[in-house]
């Protein structure tokens, strides 16, 4: 009887231990600096788990937010990524040596995002969506991938280029340019016009100090971890 109980306990504990070891040996590339409502991380070869403020983010992980949730990740090179409501992204590649070269590739699959570049050389940074590849130069970019597979990219700050993976066309982007793609990859090209994603976390960025203003470092506060309540300055105000 005791042997059966021990075997049952081992069968329960072993998968948890394997997950813990997998996460422990994964390469940390940043941390969650703000979480509102719920966010999750699925490390490579591990199970999905809640992501709390100041938890490490690992390379090749999938990051997700629930509807009405949001997440800010600060990478080791100082770049910042904000996920809005119901969003999913994969940290596909990240290499950073302080004072040296590096590389960063983020694959956005669904939802709304805001990316602020850091110190990794900009020609080694790529933002990818199902439809386009975005190259940046000192940039703040906002992106929306809709339920019907339409996509919007907006250059809030800086310059860059967009390569349409479906049509092979390239588009130069300047500060204040917005471009829309339908599900087939068709577009009228960049237009210089203001654009808001309609998600406070993405439109204003998120900031640990909880203030909101109009600048590149603007932010709103929220809960400190999955399931925690936001403060009085919550980003949904």
> At residue 58, what are phi and psi to the nearest 5 degrees?
-110, 155
pLDDT of 109 over the 80 cut = yes
Q: Mean pLDDT, the chain, as a whole number? A: 82
- Region 156-161: mean pLDDT is 96
Considering the domain boundaries, does residue 13 fall inside one? no
pLDDT-based confidence at residue 22 (cuts at 50, 70, 90): very low
pLDDT at 13 over 60: no
The HSE-up count of residue 229 (CA atoms within 13 Å, CB side) is 2
Residue 7 lies in a domain: no
Answer yes or no: is 144 within a domain.
yes
Pairing outcome for strands 125-128 and 102-116 = parallel
pLDDT range class, residue 25, cuts 50, 70, 90: low
Nearest to 113 by CA among 72, 78, 147, 57: 72
Mean pLDDT of 73-85: 96
Domain assignment of residue 95, given as a range = 28-204
Q: What percent of the chain has pLDDT over 70?
A: 76
Is position 160 within any domain?
Answer: yes
User: In this predicted structure, what is the pLDDT of residue 206?
Assistant: 82
User: Tens of pLDDT along 96-106?
Assistant: 987 767 999 99
In a domain, 183, yes or no: yes
Instruction: Assign residue 57 the CATH number of its domain.
Output: 2.60.120.1440
Tell whether 184 is covered by a domain.
Answer: yes
Query: Cα-Cα-Cα-Cα dihedral of 199, 95, 136, 193, to 10°?
Result: 0
What is the pLDDT at residue 152?
Answer: 98
The whole-model pTM stands at 0.79
Number of domains in the chain: 1
pLDDT at 194 over 50: yes
Q: Evaluate whether residue 217 is within a structural domain.
A: no
Check pLDDT > 90 for residue 23. Answer: no
- The pLDDT value given to residue 209: 54
State residue 95's pLDDT score.
Answer: 93
- DSSP one-letter code for 67: T
The mean per-residue pLDDT over the stretch 197-213 comes to 76
Q: Does some domain include residue 124? A: yes
């Amino acid at each position: 009887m005791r042997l059966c109980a021990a075997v049952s306990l081992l069968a329960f504990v072993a998968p948890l231990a394997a997950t813990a070891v997998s996460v422990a040996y994964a390469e940390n590339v940043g941390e969650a600096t703000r979480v509102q409502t719920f966010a999750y991380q699925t490390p490579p070869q591990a199970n999905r788990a809640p992501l709390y403020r100041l938890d490490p983010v690992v390379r090749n992980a999938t990051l997700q937010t629930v509807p009405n949730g949001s997440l800010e990740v600060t990478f080791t090179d100082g770049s910042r990524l904000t996920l809005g409501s119901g969003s999913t992204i994969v940290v596909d590649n990240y290499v950073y040596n302080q004072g040296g070269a590096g590389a960063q590739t983020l694959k956005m699959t669904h939802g709304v995002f805001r990316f602020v570049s850091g110190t990794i050389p900009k020609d080694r940074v790529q933002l990818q969506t199902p439809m386009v590849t975005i190259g940046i130069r000192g940039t703040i970019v906002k992106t929306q991938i809709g339920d019907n597979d339409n996509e919007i990219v907006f250059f809030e700050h800086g310059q860059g280029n967009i390569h349409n993976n479906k049509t092979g066309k390239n588009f130069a982007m300047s500060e204040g340019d917005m471009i829309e793609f339908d599900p087939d990859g068709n577009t009228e090209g960049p237009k210089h016009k203001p654009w808001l994603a309609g998600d406070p976390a993405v439109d204003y960025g998120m900031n640990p100090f909880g203030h909101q203003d109009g600048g590149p470092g603007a932010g709103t506060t929220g809960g400190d971890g999955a399931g925690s309540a936001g403060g009085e300055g919550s980003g949904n105000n």
